[in-house]
A and B are shown apart, each in its own frame.
Chain A
Amino acid sequence: MTDKPKENKLLEYWNAFATLVKRHPHVQYLIFGLVLVLFGYLSSVGVLPSYYNSVFAYIIIFTIVALGLNLLLGFSGLISLASSSFIGVGALGTGVFLNLGLPFEIAALLAIVSAAIIGSLIGLLSSKISGIYLAISTLFIAEILRQIFTSLEMFGGERLDIGTVELLGFLELSRNSRAQRFYLFAIMAIVMAVMMMVTYNIIKSRSGRAFMGISRSENSAAAMGISPLKYRVMAFTIATIFAAVAGVLYALYYQNAPTRQWGLLQSLTIIAIVVVGGFKSIYGMFLGAFIIHGLSELFLKELLGDVSYIFSGILLIVVILFYPKGVAHIWVDIRKLYYKFKYRNKEKDVIKDET
């Protein structure tokens, strides 16, 4: 009996914390990022296998791109088959500008800005064409970018070596040291959390509502002063900025940038992540990236070897069949079950009281 007040106090703290988290989704994203950092720490000190780090780094990259693509697919009803190419622009661009001798931050900024310019041009294009035609045009843009990556000499042919990265002018981080690799991973996890917050801020604002307005009913959007052209350009620009940020993180973490990887196949993977994770969901993007990329890399490959792709394909179909709204929707179902359970117990209690 003596420790009951203490327990109550703990419960009180917990409740205060829970309401804080509930009220401020930003805190949730930060906690999510910190949990990932902890995860990276565990795998860097050897509690978890060290290759987990590298797989999760890729999941983080995919999550950020998918967040951007979700603004197009889920919110604005636009499609892009070039999202992978913009990771390439971010990664290779950072590499090229670094090799010119610029500091990392400037190089990253320049890479993101160049991607954003190309993205806004696609946005302008999307005012004239839509649906499958837009998809095909972005496919061609992706192909053009891929050709540029592989044939221009400044991108180094097969791959562009970047090497040790110097942050803020004094913090030198190399992926060859285990401890420093963990710092790189931590930076990525925090950037992902920030990008989740940015996404949340956009979709919960006038701009987010405008994105949904132009995709759900363009006429009424126009009647309310929402210019479809402006918001299409904005959606494409933001999506490419997200992809370019992911590319910068790729350059930062892997410290080299291949040139052949940024093609249609990876773009389709990212679309699959958005579909599996759930349109309009933020955590869903991480879940989707984990299911599409993480599961096969972490478990299936080890168990099944090369045929693991067959199983990830089957998994994809199963998810689409049973969770067409995305895996993020599982949470809703779990909560429903919980309330059902709770309600049923209460009902029993009531009946007991009466008897």
Chain B
Amino acid sequence: MKHDDYVLKLDNVTMRFGGLTAVNGLSFSIKPKEIVGLIGPNGAGKTTIFNCVTQFYDTYEGAISFKNDEGSVNLKDHKVTEVIDLGIARTFQNIELVPDLSVLDNIMIGAHNTFKTGVVQHIFRTPKAKAEEKAIREKAVEALKFMHIDHLKDQFAGGQPYGVQKKIEIARTLMSNPKLIILDEPAAGLNDNETDELEALIHRIRDEYGASILLIEHDMGFVMEICDRVCAINFGQFLAMDTPKKIQNHPDVQEAYLGKEE
């Protein structure tokens, strides 16, 4: 692996909300097929970074570049709705599903950008539109099987337990063939069994879908188990980025979490 081989690279990214600097001169990069955890105390700016990467915030300074099969792109040149076409899919901290659609239909929304037919073709149910719908339905069932929730496919998403809803969101990201999957607190609110299962699933996503994964998580046990590397930040400032073991023993990180020893 070459040294400058990356999927996502943040270069001196700063994001200000009025007088508040949420992210301050942050730089780090993610290698292909790497699982990177982003940790930091509450209010450290983790979700802000996610929103900058996915272009929900487009007023940040610095550069965020993303490398897919066609080469390197500056994400700032793309709108929020175009980011998924490049190969970045994400989940949300507060689950964002359509409660009154079936689980399967929710997954199919994730393939929205891969459709080639438009509304006129849908109205007339042209053979092409039908075939496409069918293919994507099958792909969605595959994604559900992958997450072990295919038995729930015809139920409403709104009535599912929290852990299942989290899985639906992750399954949805798989539909767009992403190069990079961004997970915002995937293990929050899960019990120990579910967390263990999620761990295995995330590894399988990396191996079978060939995607890099960037995740925010407060469950340190989970982060230490799953991540190849961990990036720690505090008050929007970069603290350290290293293997989980080394991060655990890093003095700056310990200080950020536990306070300074007197």
From B81, B97, B105, A226 is in contact (CB under 8 Å) with B81
Q: Is the CB of B82 within 8 A of A225?
A: yes
Q: Decide if the interface of chain A is mainly helix, strand, loop or mixed.
A: helix
Q: Is the CB of B129 within 8 A of A205?
A: yes
A132 interface residue per 8 A CB criterion: no
B101 interface residue per 8 A CB criterion: yes
Known contacts: A205-B133, A206-B133, A209-B101. The answer to whether A224 contacts B122 by CB under 8 A is: no
B54 interface residue per 8 A CB criterion: yes
Within 8 A of A (CB), among B78-99: 80-85, 89-90, 92, 96-99
Q: Is the CB of B112 within 8 A of A226?
A: yes
Q: Is the CB of A219 within 8 A of B56?
A: yes
B164 interface residue per 8 A CB criterion: no
B172 interface residue per 8 A CB criterion: yes
Q: Which 8 A-B pairs have the closest CB atoms?
A: A220-B96, A225-B113, A205-B122, A217-B96, A225-B84, A216-B98, A207-B119, A227-B81
Q: Is the CB of A206 within 8 A of B117?
A: yes
CA distance A234 to B125 in the complex (A): 18
From A216, A219, A234, A280, B119 is in contact (CB under 8 Å) with A234
Q: Is the CB of A225 within 8 A of B81?
A: yes
Interface residue range, chain B: 35 or more
B115 interface residue per 8 A CB criterion: yes
Name B's A-contacting residues (CB within 8 A): 54, 56, 80-85, 89-90, 92, 96-101, 105, 108-110, 112-113, 115, 117-119, 122-125, 129, 133, 172, 176
State the interface size on chain A (CB cutoff 8 A).
24
Within 8 A of B (CB), among A211-255: 212-213, 216-217, 219-227, 234, 238
Task: Give every chain B residue within 8 A of A221 (Cβ-Cβ).
Answer: 109
Within 8 A of B (CB), among A172-214: 198, 201-202, 205-207, 209-210, 212-213
A198, A225, A234, A280 interface centre (most CB from chain B within 10 Å): A225
Known contacts: A205-B133, A209-B105. The answer to whether A223 contacts B80 by CB under 8 A is: yes
13 residue pairs from A and B, CB less than 8 Å apart? A201-B125, A202-B119, A202-B122, A205-B122, A205-B133, A206-B108, A209-B98, A209-B109, A213-B109, A223-B56, A224-B112, A224-B172, A226-B109
Known contacts: A223-B54, A224-B176. The answer to whether A206 contacts B122 by CB under 8 A is: yes
Task: Give every chain B residue within 8 A of A234 (Cβ-Cβ).
Answer: 119
Look across to chain B and name the residue whose beta carbon is closest to the beta carbon of A224: B112
CA distance A217 to B84 in the complex (A): 16
New A-B contacts (4) at CB < 8 Å, excluding given A206-B133, A212-B98: A210-B109, A219-B92, A223-B83, A224-B113
Interchain pairs with CB closer than 8 A, number:
84
Q: Is the CB of A202 within 8 A of B112?
A: no
Q: Is the CB of A224 within 8 A of B110?
A: yes
From B84, B96, B108, A219 is in contact (CB under 8 Å) with B96
CA distance A217 to B97 in the complex (A): 7
Q: Is the CB of A223 within 8 A of B84?
A: yes
Task: Give every chain A residue within 8 A of B80 (Cβ-Cβ).
Answer: 222-223
Task: Give every chain A residue within 8 A of B119 (Cβ-Cβ).
Answer: 202, 205, 207, 234, 238
Look across to chain A and name the residue whose beta carbon is closest to the beta carbon of B120: A207
Instruction: Please give the distance in Å from B232's CB to the nearest CB on chain A.
Output: 25
Q: Is the CB of A209 within 8 A of B122?
A: no
CA distance A280 to B101 in the complex (A): 11
Task: Give every chain B residue within 8 A of A198 (Cβ-Cβ).
Answer: 123
Q: Is the CB of A202 within 8 A of B123?
A: yes
Look across to chain A and name the residue whose beta carbon is closest to the beta carbon of B172: A224
Task: Give every chain A residue within 8 A of B100 (Cβ-Cβ).
Answer: 212, 216, 280
Task: Give every chain B residue within 8 A of A206 (Cβ-Cβ).
Answer: 108, 112, 115, 117, 122, 133
